[in-house]
Amino acid sequence: MKKWVDSPLFLNASLGFLSLLLGILLIALVIRIFTPSLQTERSAIESHLISNVIQIEVLNGCGTPGIATRYTNLLRRAGFDVVESGNFESFDVNETFVIDRIGNIEHARAVARALGITESRIIREISPHFYLDASVVIGADFEELTLR
């Protein structure tokens, strides 16, 4: 008795199926190599949007109760992503300053401009442990700040 696996019809059908599968895989490979990936385009758009968001923290350096919260709200309304607020290591800061945390001086400048302070009050304290673009330390001169 002859098995159906040994029949020429089964072998031809199997060969045809495998040839079709190989053709589909080759077409997919060519498309993948020669056309830009949607994922790559999406990643480029997302990274552009993310790079335009300036993440900051606002710290109270003068000791006035609620000043960090007040400036957190003002800076959020100005378009900054304030991810943290709290107290600075001391309350004896006379002039407000901005700390560049990741080496993107343009973001620190944007924060300084928004507060109406000069670039001379930007300091660089870069560390790979920071996830923020900048820190704002509110000093005793907070009434002179002009949020733009």
Output the CA torsion sign for 105, 78, 60, 54: negative
C-alpha–C-alpha distance, residues 135 and 51, integer Å: 17
Q: Quick check: 142 and 67 in contact, CB under 8 A? A: yes
Count CB-CB contacts under 10 A for residue 34.
Answer: 7
What's the confidence (pLDDT) of residue 48? 47
Per the structure block, which two tokens stand in for 135?
A: 């820190």
C-alpha–C-alpha distance, residues 101 and 137, integer Å: 13
Distance of CA 130 to the CA centre of its chain: 13
Q: What does each of the 148 residues of the chain score in pLDDT, given as a tens digit?
A: 556 556 778 788 888 999 999 999 999 988 878 776 555 555 554 554 455 789 999 999 999 999 999 999 999 999 999 999 999 999 999 999 999 999 999 999 999 999 999 999 999 999 888 889 999 999 999 999 987 6
Write out pLDDT tens, residues 23-43: 999 999 888 787 765 555 555
What's the confidence (pLDDT) of residue 51? 58
Distance of CA 103 to the CA centre of its chain: 14
What's the confidence (pLDDT) of residue 95? 97
Per the structure block, which two tokens stand in for 147?
A: 């949020």
Per DSSP, what are the bridge partners of residue 98? 122, 136
β strands within the chain, DSSP E: 55-60, 81-87, 97-100, 122-124, 134-138
